[in-house]
Structure 1
């Protein structure tokens, strides 16, 4: 069964043997969240905590590998830094290991450092690298689809509610991530303000650690990438800043109902705006075209095997359709559901079927493109806020009530064998 071995219904059987292999294997291979190279935990290098004039090995120097990475992503290069120390050159007594993973060294000056770096690009590694598995999850979609709002509410729901149901805790990769997440959540949940659009520039990964209450279960490092919508249809940007997509372990593909031509004038929200929405929104299929051009076309049989959650956002809007042809007014997509004890396959299949039928009627070309390009896809509908926002301000007359935002993420955990599935 999966890592969450306690996630089983009374009549479900274990899905796999991952848990046994995990506990017998010891240290995990590390995947760098920046350059995506894979390496053994003993191959990490360290940034020295000091520099020494007159010692060529320990003088401050420009870090060529780190500057090469910065140049690639369009950042300015850095000046002289403390030297990089290779642990292999040190005696074993100078090395500190936790769970058989090298986490700290004392250099030849007996000075300690725990700043671990990728040996290929010299970026800082997450604290838990090597001590448990790591998974890269790319959140993609067109401009204005609500990726940043979705990520903010997803992390909020995971931390406040979902993690308790799976016997875990969500811990930010470092205090910097934690501060940014808290600011965004305060803006939405306390001030009722929308987030500013993500600028079209290189986006750093958001790293979270899923730490389990049961000690023998290794921590899971989650590496989220949220790429700006404008970048999704820019070939040069995709080549320089979207390498993470083809290296993903899972994809969350967000689709806005207003991107669908057949729905724009049917939804009552368009009455608040003047003019045609045709030019304002990208078509969902446009994103697949660029994904196909940049990496799917290079896959075997021209389909990607990366599990992909296709997520219709702003699902609360669909209540305004007043048209049973698209979605029933009493559909389960408008009701929250807690996957408690296991990932409920019955509930997933119901939602998956409803959204598939909806997309087939609302945007058949997009649905056909997904079927043609993605080998493993699950369909979902979420509302990050529970009600419509008006430009930069959220409706203050109603409370914020995210609907089903954690479901696509839990499905990815299930497909990656970290969460058991069962049936009621």
Structure 2
């Protein structure tokens, strides 16, 4: 029996177990249902807002009748956390993409810029419509997008899982056109992103708090700061001031990858003699800081292809180039760890802003962007994962 995964709490359930929520419409007779406490949402998500009553029903059907007001409702909710599920959730593909990385690696900025690019430029490239799948995602993403692109300020630090119980993921719906000889159809995929705080990866306990999230991931993007790789600062003659803070040893790429790998190895189905099957995109952020030290023909400096598919040849060139750089930077331990533990992984290099942010002045609440946002290859890791998950096609020029 195929089991679904909630894009909000990552609990698993069968389609028939899906519940419904009363729509609160005016009944023909009697009074409409009134909102009240939902203990399940309070316990699982820490959400104490009043909600309309839960309606029992068979989730294989698209509606159920409220026993109190007798009104038919089509609002489906997760049986584990009572979050409203995206429309027709059980009938379409749903993918969980984990996004993790060290503190100061730029995850929150990267996620905002990535989704902005997917909604606009990359959406046109793939003939895809990308929209928020729920009201909170649409509202919060719009606020973060406005702060970054209009106000020119960077987001604040992500709260840890322990500090903010029930931190909600962003959930997006991707609709791709599929043109055949006699008809055109749409393929829908729901994507759930959870931004893991850097502090969550500084200890085994912190990583353990994200086990359920990682265990449900269909693909993982690990965002690493190349400036924390051994000898990079010296190799490129960079001033230590380009780092937001002195690098913490616990934040080093090898330590983060080791903790994540240990968590994945403990999941059901994995073992000491098995390779991890989840595809992992290892993305080095802030490569704009390295451009002056890279040759003009470096694949990392080339623009992303404009093809309506993931260009495998281009991806392989980037992967091989970053792999060679790691050994030159004395970061070969990273490659050895990935090669020995993961069946499928790929290296990427990107820049969310295209330049180093402005230095925060004393008393300034939030750091400024420092210029026009000019992202470089932010979509590559995500598109590679989508190609591995058969959401987008793969080609090779």
Same fold (TM over 0.5): yes
User: SS state of the match for residue 395, structure 1?
Assistant: coil
Alignment of 1:412 onto 2:381: no
1:217 aligns with 186
C-alpha separation in 2, matches of 1:82 and 1:286: 46
Distance 1:335 1:189, change over 3 A: farther
The corresponding residue for 1:205 is 169
1:48 aligns with 2:19: no
Instruction: Give me the whole-angstrom Cα distance separating, in 1, the residues matched to 2:242 and 2:250.
Output: 13
Q: CA deviation at 1:34?
A: 3.4
1:31 aligns with 2:1: no
The answer to whether the 8 A contact 2:202-2:251 is kept is no
Matches within 5 A, 1:222-371: 222-267=191-236, 269-272=238-241, 277-279=246-248, 282-298=251-267, 299-300=270-271, 301-320=273-292, 322=293, 327-362=294-329, 363-371=331-339
Aligned: 1:103 with 2:62: yes
How big is the shift at 1:61?
A: 6.8
- In structure 2, how many angstroms separate the alpha carbons of the residues matched to 1:311 and 1:253? 6
Name stretches of at least 5 consecutive residues in structure 2 with no aligned partner. 179-183, 360-366
Say whether the 8 Å CA contact 1:128–1:221 is kept in structure 2. no
Which of 1 and 2 has higher RCO (CA within 8 Å, sep 6+)?
Answer: 1
SS of the residue aligned with 2:90?
Answer: coil
Task: Between 192-201 and 35-44, report the one with greater CA deviation.
Answer: 35-44
**Among 49, 55, 60, the residue aligned to 1:85:** 55
Q: Distance in 1 between matches of 2:129 and 2:380?
A: 17
User: Aligned-pair RMSD on alpha carbons?
Assistant: 2.9
Whether contact under 8 Å (2:250, 2:256) holds in the other structure is no
Residues 75-154 of structure 1: pairs in structure 2 closer than 5 A: 75=46, 78=48, 81-88=51-58, 102-108=61-67, 109-154=69-114
> Helix, strand or coil for the counterpart of 1:87?
coil
Q: Aligned partners of 2:198 and 2:245: how far apart in 1?
A: 20
Query: Which 10-residue stretch deviates more, 236-245 or 262-271?
Result: 262-271
- Decide whether the 8 Å contact of 2:305 with 2:311 is kept in 1: no
Q: Give me the whole-angstrom Cα distance separating, in 2, the residues matched to 1:168 and 1:127.
A: 18
Structure 2 counterpart SS, 1:379: strand
Shift of residue 344, structure 1, vs aligned partner: 1.4
Count the aligned residue pairs.
370
Partner of 2:355: 387
CA contact (8 A) 1:255 1:284 kept: yes
Distance (whole Å) between structure 1 residues aligned to residue 392 and residue 190 of structure 2: 15
State the TM-score, normalized to the length of structure 2.
Answer: 0.84
For residue 235 of structure 1, report the CA deviation from its aligned partner: 2.9
Q: Deviations over 1:166-202 (max 9, x none)?
A: 2210011123212222222222223332221112234
